[in-house]
Amino acid sequence: MVNRLKTTFVIGNWKMNGAISDNEAFLSDLLKLLERLDLGGVICGIAVPSVYLFQFSSRLVDNPFLLGSQDVSARKDNGPFTGEISAKMLTEFDCSFSIVGHSERRENFQESNEDIAKKATQLLQYGITPIVCVGENAVLRKNGDAVAFVAGQIDELSSFLSKELLGKCKFAYEPIWAIGTGKTALTSDVREMHTTIRRSLVKNIGEDSGLQIPILYGGSVNADNVLEIMSEECVDGVLVGGASVRMDSFGDLLEKAVNRLH
């Protein structure tokens, strides 16, 4: 089941990286690049650590380049939740999206699909788009259980989210065994898993909405492999980790992604 959307997404995820002075140099180079790039049908953005949201939002005012968060609280608005950042707070930095359910959050903080659904609900209440991550680890892949596992993730998420809310999310497939390893999934594996996600979405929310949800690929994406990955009709964009932290590598990747469409 292939559905190539008209819009392509390139989203960076800095994870726990950055420093104020380095960020300024990154932003300066990014803004210079954006001045000469015709983004066309490419929507670009970056998710930075929350402590840098103000720095980035103040420099990206009235810019088509999107700013996002790497996570959000499942709690409402405010209250006695030390260390949490609410969706309402993210609106003050003009965040247009937030990653939820990243494999590192699922594994290191034991986040469940119910937790992720609650976070997505909070984001959507404030007009922020959730990018929901799903994917299998090396053991599941080796045992041939990847398809069933990822389909099950979608099914469980749909049990906690209404069809309307699920239809407003974006999804990212993460082959967990490839993240931060320099490995990328075979194109045949990418097709299989993106098709699995698409079919699961259609099953749970219907064809009209299920075929319109963007599905990104995230697994050691870099400037050397981005064109091959994005050439797959089932891939609507990429979620970029380590290669998004430095402007030389991220800029190269962005240019290739944009020029591919012109």
Catalytic residues: 102, 174
Question: How far is the first Cα of the chain from the last one, in angstroms, to the nearest whole number?
Answer: 26
Cα angle for residues 83, 114, 104 (degrees, 5° grid) = 55
| CA–CA dist 109, 86 (Å, integer) | 17
Longest pairwise C-alpha distance within the chain: 50
Burial class (CB in 10 A: 0-12, 13-18, 19+), 98: buried
Residue 88 contacts by C-beta under 8 Å, 6 or more apart in sequence?
77, 78, 126
| CA–CA dist 55, 195 (Å, integer) | 38
CB-based contact 73:85 (threshold 8 Å) = yes
Q: b/e map of 221-239 (b: 16 or more CB within 10 Å)? A: bbbeebeebbebebbbbbb
- The helix/strand/coil state of 13 is strand
